[in-house]
Structure 1
């Protein structure tokens, strides 16, 4: 069974304050006309000691942003730059969000509570600093499904409707408004490092590397790689491993993020910031989520390439601290790490016991061919063939029959299909809210998704 989040006492922590003089600016939240609680993450609230908060106190903290006890006295809008569709933009930063609090879980790991739609900041540019309610609902759905499918993702912690009318070009307007809080291990982005390179802040870059190594610890690089004792090289190896695993997890989930800019790449390796995401209606490498991605730069089949390119931009920034050869050596590990993670994740989702990389990679190759030829939705393919069931009379079926299944004891696998989040499913859920203010379908879908996650069990270890 999938490991549930463990209850822990409230443990405030604010290590970000050691960097905040140059990494962020204090800001004030918007004063919303209304605050109606719409979603509270009951899987994760107790993991940071906030499960006992009543709804009124929850809204005070996550709708009005009254500081949590002994935590950040004011929210912090983080500074960063980034490549957006491979074009460098130095005018970024938290434009409709901020870091609200930092806490420790029961294992001592740092967790951030960050916002989306919480008001104007110095980096809002021409935007209004707000989030539509539909955007918040889509974020709930994306994070819940990705978590169930074994993807390293931020968690949607809270959604509160705020009573404003918003005008958007890509939604019927006026649109309802909301403020969202996400839970993740950190909000340090590749673009955070790029900004320090842009301003030639070598000392601050070194401090940021040390912060990331301390707060998001990971394994040391292999002994045979150059520069394995240098902090900047260690960090790049860790980020390469995390993002290679993330790209593999997205692939096996059949998920297309849509906007893989360097300001959307978290050093902790977590997927976050869900805008024009989609799940594949069929196995198609060219499928693109964002209507404005005319060159298909971030198409489904190019997501690993995009994350590798983004790691390269981190390496460029880290050249302020390390020589090129050990950084290049770290980047060269991305491909093998991705292929290993892909095979591991694929076999896990099929409910099979791994045989080893060579055999598992061969299974993946034949499964991809079979999915492409069948033309159905990937979620149905994985459900139909879970535990090696319904093996077709082809090369994929022959390999499938050669595997041993894991424990099959869950009633969901006897059902006709798994829960899905194709675009029609998402729009139907939203219509119930938009037309009738009926939230029952959303809550039912979240319950179904969590049941799927429980049935799939604990995913393979991320990273390397």
Structure 2
């Protein structure tokens, strides 16, 4: 493990033409202090996590000190927000500080969220608050623990700087770590401003750094076509992950869509408590555009917007062909994940009806999505038909469930997976712990009073959510009724 000053920086993005962003330094926070550091993320950087407790680390990432090998830049991009194109976007409260190159050749962006005013701040103050920083910190850890591709958060730092939202809150910064911070909106910016030369530079940059296998193709049109196919595939796989685990992003604007299929820009997100297909986690989403069951369609809409932005590089037929692959890729990935959740190895025609009946049952009785599948993961085949009593706290009427359990037990008899292997597959596919909104809220309230204990406890279970963690079993229980109705908006 290295000291901070031993990290190797290779700042390729800041070396791109001036149109790509604006060099700017972070603005200092007053009396900064560490809230939490994620040791698993520090390992990605080959950084000793104890470095986060040093005065230099804290001052550096709160704008109170410099590190000459970093090249801070506010990235310029645009995007479609709630379906409407907005040209006035960019890193309004964040900076790409630099890019760490590890001993294996892996490149990691180091990004500061909450670093102060930039040319793209619009009417904002460029700050983040402790509340939103903790939400993203814990959410990114939760998604990584679930095996879902995501941006990461190295640490949360807070301060005595007042930030004005609905009330006065503590100014904070989140140190985000990601393979790339490129968004759909980066391509849209160069397309809509007719900077087609820069659009090509961006596409070449993406291919060189993230799809190097495409570089072997000499034909440019073929390279860009394969690039778009890769983006479509990665996006489909991400959405399949979200839908299988019950995650709602809340604000799927194109400027919040990662070009690498990473879960990106955590704001008013929410994991399903009761199974509700139309779940809207963002209180500001009045039309339900980004409801849980709309996410697959919205992702395709966003990919279509990206495809349109790539028309200077691609023929329409190539774009259409890539977009047509989205639905089959999504369905295949989602189907595989859902079969694992029920411990099914073979794919059979009757499975569609089995899942449809289950989802209808869960919806009509408002069954806790995570707890149902986790409970199923411990029931031997021989006991399934008489196991309905195990679900008494989840179902109001057990009779329909008993019918479904009988059908499921019969289906298992046609599968080649042994009962032992089935249960193991289900235990590693159905988490015991998710980041429920009420737990995040309790952690935030305690942190705002200077107690970071719950933040650390949640970090522990979310990093390995399939394990039992008996000491923290209460985190896996059904939320209280008030915890299901918390209002989270974009400002969160």
Q: TM-score range by the shorter chain?
A: 0.7 to 0.9
For the pair 1:250 / 2:242, whether they are aligned, the reply is: yes
Consecutive unaligned residues of structure 1, counting only runs of 5 or more, are 1-8, 457-464
CA distance in 1, matches of 2:337, 2:65: 41
Equivalent residue number for residue 399 of structure 1: 411
Displacement of 1:167 in angstroms is 1.9
SS at match of 2:188: helix
Q: Name 2:322's counterpart in structure 1.
A: 330
For 2:153, what is the secondary structure of its paired residue? strand
Kindly indicate whether residue 433 of structure 2 is the aligned counterpart of residue 419 of structure 1: yes
Match for residue 304 of structure 1 among 289, 292, 296: 296
* Whole-angstrom CA distance in 2 between matches of 1:269 and 1:106: 25
Distance 1:137 1:17, change over 3 A: closer
What's the offset of the Cα at 1:218?
Answer: 7.2
The residue that corresponds to 1:268 in the other structure is 260
Q: Displacement, 1:268?
A: 1.4
Take 1:200 and 1:243, find their aligned partners in 2: how far apart are those partners? 26
Report what 1:160 is aligned to.
Answer: 157
Structure 2 vs 1, CA of residues 452 and 181 (structure 1 numbering), >3 Å: closer, same or farther? same
What residue in structure 1 maps to residue 11 of structure 2? 14
Change (3 A) 1:261 1:397: farther
* Structure (1 or 2) with the larger CA radius of gyration: 2
Partner SS for 2:8:
coil
Q: Mind listing any 5+ residue stretches in structure 2 that lack a counterpart?
A: 1-5, 385-403, 470-492
Contact 2:224 2:313 in 1 (8 A): yes
- SS at structure 2 position matched to 1:380: helix
CA deviations on 1:18-38 (whole Å, 9 max, x unpaired) are 424221110121121121011
d(CA) in 1 for partners of 2:308 and 2:84?
15
2:396 paired with 1:385: no
How far did residue 67 of structure 1 move? 4.8
Identify which range, 15-24 or 232-241, moves more after superposition: 15-24
Rounded Cα–Cα distance in structure 1 between residues aligned with 2:337 and 2:103:
27
Q: Distance in 1 between matches of 2:361 and 2:147?
A: 22
How many residues align structurally? 435
Q: Which residue of 2 aligns with 1:196?
A: 190
Matches within 5 A, 1:113-132: 113-132=110-129
What whole-Å deviation, never above 9, does each CA across 1:296-321 have from its counterpart, x for those lacking one?
00000001111111111110011011
Structure 1 residues 45-84: aligned runs within 5 Å: 45-51=42-48, 53=51, 55-64=54-63, 66-68=65-67, 70-72=69-71, 75-84=72-81
Structure 1 position 448 matched with structure 2 position 461: yes
Deviation at 1:213, TM superposition (A): 1.1
Provide the rounded CA distance (Å) in 2 between the counterparts of 1:124 and 1:191.
16
After TM superposition, the score normalised by the length of structure 2 is: 0.81
In 1, distance between residues paired with 2:252 and 2:463? 26
* SS of equivalent to 1:49: coil
Deviations 1:221-261 (A, max 9, x none): xx9xxx99622211110110011011111111211110000
> Which of these residues, 171, 176, 194, is aligned with residue 177 of structure 1?
171
Say which of 90, 94, 100 aligns to 2:87: 90
Structure 1 range deviating more: 318-327 or 417-426:
417-426
Which secondary structure does the structure 1 equivalent of 2:333 belong to? helix
Which of 363, 366, 375 is matched with 2:366 structurally? Answer: 375
Mapped partners of 1:293, 1:42: distance in 2: 35
* Mapped contact 2:107–2:179 kept (Cα < 8 A): yes
Query: CA separation in 2, counterparts of 1:10 and 1:167?
Result: 35
Q: Any conservation in 2 of the 1:388–1:400 contact (CA below 8 Å)?
A: no
| Partner SS state of residue 19, structure 2 | helix
**Which of these residues, 134, 150, 154, is aligned with residue 147 of structure 2?**
150
Match of 2:394 in 1: none
Compute the RMSD of aligned alpha carbons. 3.0
Alpha carbons 2:28, 2:64 under 8 Å: kept? no
Task: Please give the secondary structure, in 2, of the residue aligned with 1:302.
Answer: helix
Counterpart contact for 1:83–1:262, Cα < 8 Å = yes
> What SS does structure 2 have at the residue aligned with 1:230?
helix
Q: TM-score, normalised by structure 1?
A: 0.86
- In the aligned structure 1, how far is the partner of 2:446 from the partner of 2:36? 16
Counterparts of 2:422 and 2:276, CA distance in 1: 31
